[in-house]
Amino acid sequence: MREDEATNDLKKWRLNTMANLTELLALPGALASFEFNGRGELLRSEMKEVENLDDSVLDLLSHVCVANTSISAMQARGWEKVTGMSGFYPIEGFTMIGVDWSTVVRGNTGVVLDNDSADYQAAYDLLNQQAGEEQ
């Protein structure tokens, strides 16, 4: 692949990612959408004006997401090995429920939702659609 083609592919990927974050932010109850890398570092985000929610909070949340995914994967693999049951691994996403806000994550993309107005199913469906899964 030529360098200019690689640059164009990267630009398309960034535009697509931002479009995905914008779509997530349009969900009922959405306060923020974010993408992070495998080390838990926040790569990009979009958010509404919300007290106590900014990129530093989303960066911390991104680290929590990576840690929870790792721990969940360890537990899922162990459970499958001990019980002989399958279907728990790989971990593709999860939800963390908080007092006021919750987070739905799939892969390296997440959305922060206000618990009072969240549509969790819509968040799951859109994250799965963006990941390329059929509903």
Instruction: Give per-residue pLDDT as tens, 96-116.
Output: 999 999 999 999 999 999 999
CA of 113: how far to CAs of 3, 14, 29, 109, in Å?
Answer: 39, 23, 5, 13
Q: Per-residue pLDDT averaged across 17-43, rounded?
A: 92
Does the pLDDT of residue 78 top 60, yes or no? yes
Q: What torsion, rounded to 10 degrees, do the Cα atoms 9, 10, 11, 16 define? A: 90
CB 62 within 8 A of CB 41: yes
**pTM across the whole model:** 0.83
What superfamily does domain 3-130 belong to in CATH?
A: Dynein light chain 2a, cytoplasmic (3.30.450.30)
Per-residue pLDDT at 12: 46
Helix, strand or coil, per DSSP, at residue 69? helix
Strand-pair category, 30-36 with 42-47: antiparallel
Q: Per-residue pLDDT averaged across 77-101, rounded?
A: 95
Per-residue pLDDT at 91: 92
Q: Per-residue pLDDT averaged across 34-52, rounded?
A: 95
Q: Per-residue pLDDT averaged across 65-89, rounded?
A: 96
